[in-house]
Every structure is written in structure tokens, then in C-alpha cells.
């Protein structure tokens, strides 16, 4: 049984662990794993090759995805969808495993509706996929944010500066909140909680009046849609307080790096379970992690979840940062 495996959308550390597990466990189950390069683009173009257990040796410790990934607008068009279905038939793919975020899993849902046997796996550093407590890549991204904040704090202390650190999270403040709490930030700004520029400046100034000699403000990128660019916020703080302010945008640094033990384990568990479901003829679902256990969630119920910010943790960050 030929089983196509693809990684799609934004890369997330731990994707390689999932592919590795799917390939090696798949061979044990007498499946024939086929790696599809560049996600849905490779599915449309027929860019794929068979994978053996030896092909996935040494990949578990690497971030990114050795299958490569891409965002594929063509897959949203009737022509692209037709070509994808033709490729599946031509390459004799009897099942697909799709690893990616909400958009990628929406594509998996469409394929399943067309009669393609599909199993989905959640991978997104934003942790915004309905049906799972944690997605592949989240833990590594958080650890990367903390790693960066530790180093930024060194220079902030040395120069007695305010640092605004912008992290990913256009619609969700999850990374900003959890990373800021773990990294000891004085202030965290998230899309879910409205604040004014004046209030932020006053909080920073209040800390200095109490004897602080530096401050770190973690800003989720979604906040900039309301308050303007992070550099504008920095200028407002500078004008209101007279303090020296610097801006650091972590950007795609958060996507890379060797996966943490948690993401390697999660990816391995999900990848192995995916091929076990394929071998058992169970399709049409994403495998999520709920209360520590793997749980199938119908693809029809998978979408972007509104990650409710824990206001208690939000208040805790600001309380501990005073």
C-alpha cells in the first residue's frame, strides 16, 4: 500500500520526527511510504519519491522539514485540485498523511471529501489548530523565544535599556504570553487584550521609578495591526519616558532550530499513530493531543481555534514584572 506523506504550510520543528516515525513504523506495517516534496505543490506536480527507513536516518534532530514545504495557492484553484487528484491516481497513492497547520488540514479535508483516504497531523508554532492541546513545533518555538530573551536581557542590563521584542502571533498571543512569562518579561502585549500606547509607556516608566534599570516588553506581531509598527511603539515610550529603547524582531528565528525533546516525542507519536491508522483503514481525521493522549478528531471539525488567553497568566506576567 503506497502512502504519500507531505509537509505543508509554515515549517515547524518536529516535522522531521513525524515523517521519520511514519516511514519507519510504516515499513513495519508493510506499507510503502512515499515522500511528497514541497507540500501540495509537489502533489500537483508529481514531485515525490519512495522512502525507506535509511532515508530518514539522522533527521530527527533537525528543524524544518527535509521534504521541504511551500504555500500553494494553485491548490485552491479548480485546475490545481484536478491535477492533484490526477497525481494521486497516476502515482497509485492509496492514502495520504498531511502534516501542517489549519490551512493544510483544510486541504486534507477537501481531499477526503473527494474520496481520498487522508490522515492529518497538526504542526503550527502558533498552537492555533482546533482539536489539539499542542501542535508540533510549539514547544521548540517557545524555547527559542526564551533563549532569545535571556540574551537580550544581558545587553538590556548592561546598557540600562528598554527592549521591545516582537514575536510571531498575528491572531494569537500564545507565544508572546507563554514565552514572556517563561523569559521574565516585564510586559507582554497580545492581540486579545487592548492597551493604549500611553498605558504601555506608563508601565515602563513606573518600573524605572521603582528602581528598575532595564525592561523587556514582548509584543505579539498582531498587536502592531492596532498600535502600529513596533518601532512606533518604541518611539512613543522614548518620548514619554526619555529612556533608551531598542527593537528586536525575532521573526523566522522562531521557526528554526533543533526540536526540543517534547516536539521530537510528539512528532514521533503522531507519525507512528498516523500509519497505524492507515494500516487499520481509519481515515478522515486529524490526530490531536488531548490531556496527554492521542485522540482522533474528524477533519470536518478541524479549523483555526481562537486560543483563549489565560487572563490569570497575563496578569501574572505584569505582576511579576513590577
Q: Which residues are catalytic?
A: 126
Query: Based on C-alpha coordinates, what's the Rg of the chain?
Result: 22
Residue 203: name the closest of 193, 143, 149 by CA: 193
C-alpha cell at 11: 515549517
CA atoms within 13 A on the CB side of 33: 30
> How far, in Å, CA of 148 to CA of 249, rounded?
10
List all residues 6 or more positions away from 175 whose beta carbon is below 8 Å from its beta carbon.
125, 126, 127, 138, 141, 142, 145, 167, 168, 169, 220, 254
Q: What is the enclosing helix (H) or strand (E) of 263?
A: helix 261-279
For 73-101, letters b (16+ CB in 10 Å) and e give: eebeeeebbebbbebbeeeebebbbbbbb
**Sign of the alpha-carbon dihedral angle for 301, 306, 307, 313:** negative
Amino acid at each position: 500500500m503506497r502512502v504519500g506523506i507531505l509537509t505543508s504550510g509554515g515549517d515547524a520543528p518536529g516535522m522531521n520526527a513525524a515523517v521519520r516515525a511514519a516511514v519507519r513504523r510504516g515499513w513495519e506495517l508493510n506499507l510503502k511510504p512515499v515522500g511528497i516534496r514541497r507540500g501540495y505543490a509537489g502533489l500537483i506536480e508529481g514531485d515525490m519519491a519512495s522512502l525507506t527507513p535509511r532515508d530518514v536516518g539522522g533527521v530527527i534532530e533537525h528543524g524544518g522539514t527535509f521534504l521541504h514545504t511551500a504555500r500553494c495557492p494553485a491548490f485552491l484553484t479548480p485546475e490545481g485540485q484536478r491535477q492533484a487528484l490526477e497525481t494521486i491516481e497516476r502515482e497509485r497513492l492509496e492514502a495520504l498523511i498531511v502534516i501542517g497547520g489549519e490551512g493544510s488540514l483544510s486541504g486534507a479535508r477537501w481531499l477526503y471529501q473527494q474520496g481520498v483516504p487522508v490522515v492529518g497531523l497538526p504542526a503550527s508554532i502558533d498552537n492555533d489548530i482546533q482539536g489539539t492541546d499542542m501542535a508540533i513545533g510549539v514547544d521548540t518555538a517557545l524555547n527559542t523565544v526564551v533563549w532569545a530573551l535571556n540574551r537580550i536581557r544581558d545587553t538590556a542590563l548592561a546598557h540600562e535599556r528598554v527592549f521591545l521584542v516582537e514575536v510571531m502571533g498575528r491572531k494569537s498571543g500564545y507565544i508572546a504570553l507563554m514565552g514572556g512569562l517563561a523569559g521574565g518579561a516585564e510586559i507582554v502585549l497580545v492581540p486579545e487584550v487592548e492597551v493604549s500606547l500611553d498605558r504601555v509607556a506608563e508601565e515602563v516608566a513606573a518600573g524605572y521609578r521603582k528602581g528598575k534599570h532595564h525592561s523587556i516588553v514582548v509584543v505579539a506581531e498582531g498587536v502592531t495591526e492596532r498600535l502600529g509598527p513596533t518601532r512606533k511603539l518604541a518611539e512613543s515610550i522614548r518620548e514619554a519616558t526619555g529612556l533608551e529603547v531598542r527593537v528586536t524582531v525575532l521573526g523566522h528565528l522562531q521557526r528554526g532550530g533543533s526540536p526540543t525533546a517534547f516536539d521530537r516525542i510528539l512528532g514521533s507519536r503522531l507519525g507512528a499513530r498516523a500509519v497505524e491508522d492507515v494500516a487499520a483503514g481509519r481515515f478522515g481525521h486529524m490526530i490531536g493531543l488531548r490531556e496527554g493522549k492521542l485522540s482522533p478528531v474528524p477533519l470536518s471539525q478541524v479549523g483555526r481555534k481562537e486560543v483563549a488567553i489565560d487572563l490569570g497568566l497575563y496578569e501574572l506576567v505584569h505582576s511579576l514584572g513590577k
